[in-house]
Amino acid sequence: MSKLEVKQAMIAKQVFNTSGEEVLDHVKAVLESRSASWCKSLPAKVRKEVEVSLAQADRKETVSHADAMKQIRAWRKR
């Protein structure tokens, strides 16, 4: 087990054994702020493209994995 995995396991154990809701709310807030902050470092153009893609997904304008693979195979044959 790597040092990172040991640290993750120790933290997960502490979180699991914590009964304080306030503590859990703080841990959640920290994790959510860290996961959201990476997006802010992306170029504005990329952020806009992600927003457009999410809106398309919300409108069910998606392609299945199988269909996407068919398209890729067709493009490779060109």
Write down the pLDDT at residue 37: 67
Domain ranges across the chain: 1-41, 43-78
Mean pLDDT of the chain: 89
For residues 41-45, give the mean pLDDT: 86
pLDDT digits (tens, 9 = 90+) for 4-33: 999 999 999 999 999 999 999 998 888 887
How far is residue 42 from each of residues 49, 67, 68, measured CA to CA in Å?
11, 29, 26
Collect all residues with Cβ–Cβ distance below 8 Å to 63 and sequence separation of at least 6.
71
Element (H, E) at 14: helix 3-16
Prediction pTM value = 0.45
Site of tokens 């979180």: 15
